Structure formats: structure tokens, C-alpha cells
Chain A
Amino acid sequence: MNPSAVAHETHEHHEPTGFWQKHVFSRDHKVIGKQFLFSSMIWALLGGTFAIMVRQQIAYPGVEIPIIGDWLFSTSGGTMPEQWYNMAFTMHASIMIFLVVIPALSGGFGNFLIPLMIGARDMAFPLLNMLSYWVMWPAMACFIASLFIGETYAGTGAIGIDAAGSGWTAYPTLSVIAIGSGQTLWAVGVILVGWSSIMGAVNYITTIVKLRAPGMGFFRMPLTVWALFITALLQLLATPVLGSAMMLLIFERTAGGTFFLTDSVAKGEVFFRAEGANGQPLLFQHLFWFYSHPAVYIMILPAMGIVSDIITTFARKPLFGYRPMVYSMSGIAGLGFIVWGHHMFQSGMNPYLGTAFMIGTMMIALPSAVKVFNWLGTLWGGQIEFPAAMKFAVAFVAMFIIGGLSGIFMAATPVDIQIHDTYFIVAHIHYVLFTGSIVGIFAGFYYWFPKMFGRKMDEKLGSIHFWLTFVLMNCTFFAMHIVGLGGMQRRIADPTVYEGLLRWMPLNKFMTWSAYLLLISQVVFFWNLFKSLRGGERVGNNPWKANSLEWDATSPPWFENFHEIPHVHRGPYEYASPEVEEDYLPQSRVLKPAEAK
């Protein structure tokens, strides 16, 4: 007997009736997925607010912050202290990476979609799944608490002044000597997020390997599932290394670990520790990037999978090169483990290693290029429809091209000498993570919203939201390439200190205003969300006429997803099939002898 069938039959699964079991401490993968998505949205607003504060300070350094300045920075005359600025960009990046993009993509979409797309009733380990969400809460609590704990805060009342302020990379020795508990709380929070990732990853891998519906071979899985599967492998293998780095950092800060401090620092007048300290800060960078480079792919691969599915659905045409897409994602993931050194070209690491990492990094552009060409091949000769989901999906491809190509500049070691730690890299990361991952999240949200809630999101508002976001994000982030090449280093609070940067102040103001508008324009999205949740157009099981198994379930799906576990007869991308009259052919559909030619 098929092992998955055994699992389904022996699985004790009753729909809980109490409010708490049903909506809060739920073990239902669909509820957990939505919980991840909605908490990500709330954190995205906070992360966005920090981003706005950063932009405000760069464009108007030393100027009193309007409206909230007096309240927030009463001791500094309403202007932003530099330590607060450092905290703002640190928390912006930490929140966006650890509490928004990773939870939304693998936590949110991973949970909601994997069982539905492979035809399972739930995840393999529902309890573990529930824990993977609820362990996020102590992490969030750590991040929030760090804003309100500390001596300087107690003295000045400037919220957040004691929170982590050494960048999301938290390089020692700055992160070791940072005063206050904010940096330690930050590290604890990151460990907890990593714990959540690992629990989720174990669950996803087991579910995908063991609980696929009959007939669902690995090469019949939609690319979203493939992407989430590869992402889970990355998370499982890389996250423990981040955890160990954070653990070492905590020991170093609280117990005098001397893993990273060297004699010269430990003996210094400022930070007396011990003589003969024999640590090395580069160790932390290696451990950190061994996770955080794969983390870049953890944040982009699921979006690539989602976008592949959406593009195929709305091009009404089979995915171009299914297997090359799978292989290129695997290639990205595999190579992703041996290129972490490209974050450290100028770090003082042996330059011979730099050469080795450079060649690996150049080569990782290749599978990305293959993916772009295959997306273009999918669009070629299609019958393309453009609902909001498709607009975002196509924008993902357009923007990923920019983010991918700008990566080649940084991969080239000599060019990296000039652009390392400048706004060029800031532009690059935002083209990959905002105009890539976040746009992919929007695409997926518009696309699967009918499945989640049984209603469609408003297309008109979706279109307005798309165009505002699309134009404004390019205004915000594209100019960063230019100021970066123009010599503006990242993480400075006041560019006007440097004569060479004065010429970029008009452009900086332009970016800041674009960023304001970009954040404000998200109101359209939230308005659409609440409007559609209450009064959106009700839809049937398969509003987009798509093929994969989740569209067999009701919208929203029943507690156990499928009344009868579907049997899979073909791959997920049989659009425009000559075998049937319609232009789609669901994976589970049994062709009648008359239809089957």
C-alpha cells in the first residue's frame, strides 16, 4: 500500500470546535499559513516606518523631524541622534528579513500551499507546525522589547536608542562592545526565528517526501512546491550555523567569550576585557554569511516558484522548460553554499580565497539567467491575461533581471573594491528583496487570495496598487545605483559631511519622497484587502482556471482540504492542451475515453 495513503487513513484528524483551537492555537496548516502572512504584514509596516526614518535622515540630516520629532527625540532638539539612525537601519533590515520576507514566503505560502498543492490533508507534523509559528512570538517580543529597554532610553526617552545598532550583519567587534541589552535581545530574537525556520523546514521536507497524493511524482510537482522544498533544505542546513554564530555572539557579550575579540581590542582603554584575547572577528563573518548568503536564496526561491506558477497560469501555456527550471533552482541552492565569501572580498580575508569565491559567484548568475530565459519562453506565444497577480509576477521578472545583473558588478572582485559597502549594494539588495521577493509575495497573495478566503480581491484597486508600487519602487531604488557609483557609502547618517556627496543630495531627496509615497501607496493594498475580505466577489473552486491540485479544493478549503484525495494524472502545466477543448487540464482530471485521443 502506498505509504501516503496509510498516513492519511491512520491520521486522527478532527476539526476543532473551540475558538482558540480553531483560530489561534490551530494545527491546521491553512490557519498557520494565514497567521504567518498577517503577522508579516503588520511587521512590514513597522519595518517600512524604520525605512522611512532612515530615508528622512539621509535626505534631511540635522533637520528637525516633522510631527514626531519633538516627541521621539526631545533631548536632541527633535533631530535624530546618530545612534538612533544606526538602530533604525539595523531594525529595518532585521525586521524585513527575519520577520517579514522569510516568514511570509516559507511560513505563509509554504504552510498554506504545500499540502494543498501536493494533495495532502495537512502537514506531516501539525504540532511542530503550530510551534514554528508560535516561537515567532517570543522573537517578536525580543525585537519589540529591545526598543524599550536600556539606560539611554530610561534617561532620554528616545524609543529604540538602545536597540541593536550595529547593522543587521552585527559584525563584531562593534556588536560585542555595543552597550545595553538591545544587541543581546536581537541575537536571541534571531535564534528564535531560526528555530522557527528549522521546525518549518523539517515539516516541509517530510511532508513533501512522504505525503504526496497518488500519482504526484517529484517531477509532477508545481514549481512553487519545488522552490519551497529546496528552500526548506537550505533552511535546514544553513540556519543552525546562524544559530551558532548568534550563540557565540551572546556568549561573547555576556560571558566574555573572547571568540571574536583580539588582544588589541580587549586591552584597549575603552573596553577592558582580558589580556591575551585571541579571537578573530572574521570568524563571525564566515559563520554569519554561511547562513546569510543561502538566506538570500531562501528569500528569493519561493518567490521564483510562485511567479513561475502565476506566469504559466495567465500565459495559458505550459511552463517553458520545467526540468531546466527545477535544475536551475537546485543549482542556485547548491552553488549558494559555496559563495558566501563574496560578501567578504574587502574584509581582510585572504585575497586568494576572494578569487575562488569570485568564480563561484559569477557562475551562480548562470542558473538565474536560465530561469529568466525560461520565463520569457513561457510568455512567448502565450495568450496572456493581466490580472493584478500577473502584473506583479511579470514585474518580478523585470525587476529580478535588474537585481541579477547588478549582482555581476559586485561579483567582479576588482569592481567590488569600488562599490563594496556603497549604495550600489543597497540598490542591489532592494532590487532582489523588495522588487523581487516582496513583489512576488504580492503576486502570490493576489493569486491565492480566492483560495484562502473564497473571495477575489478587487482587480481595479489591485491594478492601482500595482502601478503605484511599480513606479514608486523604481524611483526609490534605481537612483541608489547612481549615488552608490557616485561614492556614497552605506549606513551614513549625514552625506553632507562629505564634499564629494553634496552633488547627490537632490537625488537623495527624490528617493526619500518616493519612499514616502511608496509606503503611503500601500494603503491601497490594505484597503483592498479589508474590502475584499468582507465584500469581495465570491468565487468557485478554480477562478483562474488553473491546473494544480489546490484548485480542486473548495475555496476556502475544507478543514481536511480534500473530501477525497485526488489522483494525479499529469504535470501541473498542461495549459492549451490539444486533448481537451478548454485551455487548461487540471492535474487530477480523468479524461473520458472519448476525450483522450
Chain B
Amino acid sequence: MATSHDSPPPPARNPGGAVIGLLIFLVGMSLVVWTGGLRMPAVLPENIGTNTAVDDLFWIIFGVTGFFFLLTEGLLVYYCVKYRRKPGQKAQPMHGNHTLELIWTFIPGVILFVLAVMQTGVWSQNKYKSEMPDPEAKETIVVQVFGKQFEWHFRYPGPDGEFKTADDITSGGELHVPVDHDVIVRLQTKDVLHSFWLPNLRLKQDLVPGLTIPQWFKPIKTGRYEIVCAELCGAGHTRMRGLLFVQTAEEFEAWKKKQYEKNGEHIADKDENWKFWYQRVQEASK
């Protein structure tokens, strides 16, 4: 290697062109990374729940991939500049290196495997039914979530604690939950696939016809947040937005009471109620 580069370099045939281009690229990329990457904590939507492990894993992967990004791109640019063609010289006829191959197979392999193992715990906390908070517990709020082109509907059990009874409480487009309580949402769709996404709680789950899929979260900050449909569901997909209100326990109880009074007389038959309330939402949205 050394012999071919220690000799006085003859003038390069294309001085600067590639170098300038690559520098522009590097400066451009660093600008983007600076404006975007370094301000990343502000980029991710605010996390208002207890599910911070997802963010931590994100940052770990960001660090690892960031390191390999800088390493490989750096080497690529460096080699392209350093080993530009010098007339009359020949490269070394090198066909490979067994040790190097082993190193760069083994090290990324170990890193990837460790990264993979690190995901399993957090994944199970988020998705495995065995990790779900006890739905029978007094503190746990259970809500049925229905997706329907292009609305979100929510149903709470009434004082009897049972769904599909006359005292159920329904809500269109607004999910109200008390702060610091475990919430279990049971996701169902009436028509096509939807995806229930709470960007601020790091929760996303598709709604699948024929399945009822439970998900859970625990908000620790009150406020008004957005519910997003993340799966294409037709020509109104964009408008399929809901609102999440995280309230104090008192506000939540008051809201439930008000909602119950509004709906109480119409829910003898659950499907009748559904239709009534769906029409009302439609009218309200006009």
C-alpha cells in the first residue's frame, strides 16, 4: 500500500471536482443532521406516558447506527479522495483478507444480536397479553375502541362494570382517561383496517376485522392530545383523527356523568344506540 502513495504524486487529472462535491455533500448532510438530528428530542412527539423504554431503545439504536454511519461514510469519502487515480500506478492486487472478514462479520453480528435481545423485554411489556394490567383491578380503566370509516368511537362500562348493558357510556371522537391510571383499550373495527396510534404514548396497533386486540397505556400528564389513524382506510383516512383527553380523576368522573346523561335514554339496544350516536357525530362534523 505504502509504496504507491509515498512517491511524489503527479498532478491529479480531475483536481478538486470530486473533493468539492463530496465536501458539499458532507456539509449538507451535517446541516440536515444538525437541524434535525441534534434537536431530535424536540423532534419526537412529547412522551406523556410511562412507556419511556421505547424512547430509550430508539436512542441506543440511534447511537449505534450513528457510529457506524459516521465510520463507514467517513471511510468511503476518505478512500475516494485519498486513492484517486494517479497515472502510471497500479493498485495492490489484494483479493481479500480472511481475518478482516471474520472481524467484520463477528462484531456487527454480536452487536445486532445484543440489540435484538434488548428489544424483547420492552416488546413483551407492550404487546404480550401476560403483561397487561389486571382489567379487574379497580384502578384500571377499560375502554372499547371502535374504528369505523372515518371515525373513532369509544365505549365505557357503566357503574355495573359490564359492557353491552344499558348503562354503557359512549363517546364519539373523544377518548377521556384519568391521569395516572392504567388504561386498557380493546380495539375493534367495524369495516376496514385502521390503526390506533397515540403518538404521545408510543402506542400503535392495527384494528383487524374479526379480532379484538387489547392494548394498554398509563398517561402521567394531563392535557389534550391527538389520536391518529395510521393505516390507510379509504378516502377519508386523513380526517380520521380523534382527541385524547387526559384528565384528573374528578374531571373524568364528571365527564362520564355528563356523557351518561346525554346517552342514557337511547341505549336499550346497543346497535340502535350505535346508529343514533353515529348519525349524531356525522351531523356534528358537518
Bound complex: CA of A82 vs CA of B239, how far in Å?
A: 10
The interface residues of chain A lying within 8 Å CB-to-CB of B234 are 86, 166, 174
- Give the nearest-CB partner of B116 in chain A: A362
Q: How many residues of B contact A (CB 8 A)?
A: 98
Among B65, B89, B109, B188, which residue has its beta carbon within 8 angstroms of that of A383?
B89
Binds A, one of B99-107, B156-164, B168-176, B257-265: B99-107
If A261-B209, A363-B109, A409-B62 are given as contacts, then 20 extra A-B residue pairs at C-beta distance below 8 Å, sorted by A number, are A167-B232, A174-B233, A281-B210, A324-B105, A348-B206, A359-B116, A381-B91, A381-B94, A385-B85, A394-B80, A401-B69, A411-B116, A418-B54, A418-B204, A478-B32, A489-B228, A489-B230, A494-B238, A498-B228, A576-B92
In the complex, A561 Cα to B239 Cα: how many Å? 59
A351, A359, A380, A485: the one contacting B83 at CB < 8 Å is: A380
Q: Give bound CA distance, A352 to B144, whole Å.
A: 24
Q: Mark A399-430, 1 if CB is under 8 A from B, else 0.
A: 00110011011011111011011100000000
Residues of B within 8 A of A41 (CB): none
B128 touches A173 (CB 8 A): no
Instruction: Check if B126 is an interface residue, CB within 8 A of chain A.
Output: yes
CA of A355 to CA of B127, assembled, Å: 10
Question: Known contacts A354-B127, A418-B202, A471-B28; is A382 also within 8 Å of B76 by CB?
Answer: no
Q: Which of A366, A481, A494 is the one whose CB lies under 8 Å from B105?
A: A366
CA–CA, A129 to B176, complex, Å? 62
Query: How far is B75's CA from A394's CA once the two chains are assembled, in angstroms?
Result: 12
Q: Is B221 an interface residue (CB 8 A)?
A: no
Task: Tell yes or no: B284 within 8 A of A by CB.
Answer: no
Which of A324, A379, A380, A492 contacts B101 (CB under 8 A)? A324
B193 and A173: CB pair below 8 A? yes
Q: Top 9 A-B pairs ranked by shortest CB distance?
A: A262-B210, A351-B127, A321-B96, A317-B91, A362-B116, A414-B122, A405-B65, A348-B208, A482-B36
Task: Mark A residues whose CB is within 8 Å of B.
Answer: 81-83, 86, 165-167, 171-174, 177, 261-265, 268, 270-271, 279-282, 315-324, 346-348, 351-352, 354-355, 358-359, 362-363, 365-366, 369-370, 372-374, 376-377, 379-386, 391, 394, 397-398, 401-402, 405-406, 408-409, 411-415, 417-418, 420-422, 463, 467, 470-471, 474-475, 478-479, 481-482, 485-487, 489-494, 497-500, 573-578, 583
Report 8 cross-chain contacts, Cβ distance below 8 Å, ordered by A residue: A281-B208, A282-B208, A379-B80, A385-B85, A409-B58, A409-B62, A421-B197, A500-B199
Task: Flag B201-242 by CB within 8 Å of A: 1 or 0 each.
Answer: 011111111110100000000000010111111111111010
- Asked if B54 and A415 make an inter-chain contact with CB atoms under 8 angstroms apart, the answer reads yes
B53 at the interface (CB under 8 A from A): yes
Contacts of B193 in A (CB 8 A): 171-174, 281
**Cross-chain contact A324 with B96 (CB below 8 angstroms):** yes
- Binary A-proximity of B105-132 (CB < 8 A = 1, otherwise 0): 1001100110110011011101110000
Query: Among B64, B73, B92, which residue has its beta carbon within 8 angstroms of that of A317?
Result: B92
CB distance from B143 to the nearest CB of A (A): 18
**CB <8 Å contact, B58 and A415:** yes
- B residues within 8 Å of A by Cβ? 1, 4, 14, 17-18, 21, 24-25, 28-29, 32, 36, 40, 43-45, 53-54, 57-58, 61-62, 64-65, 68-69, 72-73, 75-76, 79-80, 83-86, 89-97, 100-101, 104-105, 108-109, 112-113, 115-116, 119-120, 122-124, 126-128, 149, 188-193, 195, 197, 199, 202-211, 213, 226, 228-239, 241
Write out the residue numbers on chain A whose beta carbons fall within 8 Å of the beta carbon of B53: 414
Contact, CB under 8 Å: A383 / B83: yes
Kindly identify which residue among B79, B91, B238 contacts A583, using a CB–CB cutoff of 8 Å.
B91
From B4, B25, B119, name the one whose CB has the most chain A CB atoms within 10 angstroms. Answer: B119
The answer on a CB contact under 8 Å between A576 and B90 is yes
Tell me, in angstroms, the Cα distance from A79 to B115 when the chains sit together. Answer: 46
> What distance in Å separates the Cβ of B150 from its nearest Cβ neighbour in chain A?
10
Which residues of chain A are near B64, meaning CB under 8 Å?
Answer: 408
CA distance A359 to B115 in the complex (A): 9
Q: Which residue of B lies closest to A495 (CB)?
A: B238
B119 pairs with A262, CB closer than 8 A: no
Residues of B within 8 A of A411 (CB): 116
A482 lies within 8 A of B43 (CB): yes
Contacts of A384 in B (CB 8 A): 79-80, 83-85
With A and B bound together, what is the CA distance between A438 and B213 in angstroms? 40
Residues in A whose Cβ lies below 8 Å from that of B233: 174
Chain A minimum-CB-distance residue to B89: A383
**Chain B contacts for A369, CB-based, 8 A:** 68, 104, 108
Partner of B241, one of A346, A479, A497: A497
Contact: A412 with B61, CB < 8 Å?
Answer: yes
Point out the residues of chain B lying under 8 angstroms from A262, CB to CB.
209-210
Task: Give Cα A398–Cα B75 distance, bound, in whole angstroms.
Answer: 10
Instruction: For B79, give the chain A residue with the smallest CB separation.
Output: A379
Bound state CA distance, A171 and B234, in angstroms? 11
Residues of B within 8 A of A383 (CB): 4, 83-86, 89-91
- Determine if B96 and A173 form an interchain contact, defined as CB atoms under 8 angstroms apart: no
A494 to chain B: which residues have CB within 8 Å?
Answer: 238
* Given contact pairs A177-B191, A500-B199, A315 touches B113 in the complex (Cβ within 8 A): no
Beta-carbon contact of B80 and A351 below 8 Å? no
In the complex the two chains form, is B61's CB within 8 Å of A409's CB?
yes
Residue B238 contacts which of A354, A358, A486, A493 (CB distance < 8 angstroms)?
A493
Complex Cα spacing A358 to B72, Å: 24
Chain B residue numbers with a CB within 8 Å of A354 are 123, 127
A contact patch SS: helix
Tell me whether B123 and A497 are in contact (CB under 8 A): no
Instruction: Report the Cα distance A405→B62, complex, angstroms.
Output: 9
- Whether A397 pairs with B119 at a CB distance below 8 angstroms is no
Please determine whether A351 and B124 come into contact, CB atoms closer than 8 angstroms. Answer: yes
A174 to chain B, nearest CB (A): 4
Q: How far is the CB of B45 from chain A (nearest CB, A)?
A: 4
CB within 8 A of B57: which of A270, A322, A412? A412
Taking CB atoms, residues of chain A closer than 8 Å to B108 are 365-366, 369-370
B237 CB to closest chain A CB (Å) equals 7
Contact of A481 among B36, B86, B112 (CB under 8 A): B36
CB-CB under 8 A from A322, the residues of chain B are 95-96
Considering the chains assembled together, what is the distance between the CA atoms of A418 and B53 in angstroms? 12
CB pair A418–B58 under 8 Å, yes or no, is yes
**B112→A373 contact, CB < 8 A:** no
A379 nearest CB neighbor, chain B only: B79
- Contact call B230/A379, Cβ cutoff below 8 A: no
Q: In chain B, what residue has the closest Cβ to A316? A: B91
Who on chain A is nearest to B5 by CB? Answer: A381
The contact of A491 among B54, B86, B191, B232, by CB within 8 Å, is: B232
Q: By the criterion CB–CB under 8 Å, are A479 and B32 in contact?
A: yes
B18 lies within 8 A of A386 (CB): yes
Contact of B230 among A81, A282, A421 (CB under 8 A): A421
Contacts of B190 in A (CB 8 A): 264-265, 268
How far is A385 from B124 in the complex, measured between Cα atoms in Å?
Answer: 51
* Measured CA separation A529–B263 after assembly (Å): 69
By a CB distance below 8 angstroms, the chain A residues around B44 are 418, 485-487
Cα distance A471–B213 when bound, in Å?
44
Provide the residues of chain A in CB contact with B76, threshold 8 Å: 376, 379, 394, 397-398, 401
Chain A contacts for B80, CB-based, 8 A: 379, 384, 386, 394
Report the nearest A residue to B121, measured CB to CB: A414
- Contact assessment for A498 and B226 in the assembled complex, using a CB-CB cutoff below 8 Å: yes
- Give A480 to B242 CA distance when docked, in angstroms: 24
When chains A and B are docked, how far (Å) is the Cα of A522 from the Cα of B192?
39
Does the CB pair B57–A414 fall under 8 Å? Answer: yes
The interface residues of chain A lying within 8 Å CB-to-CB of B213 are: 348
Task: Name B96's closest neighbour in chain A (CB-CB).
Answer: A321
Contact present for A86 and B96 (CB under 8 Å): no
Known contacts A320-B95, A351-B123, A489-B197; is-contact A376 B83 (Cβ 8 Å):
no
B79 touches A380 (CB 8 A): yes
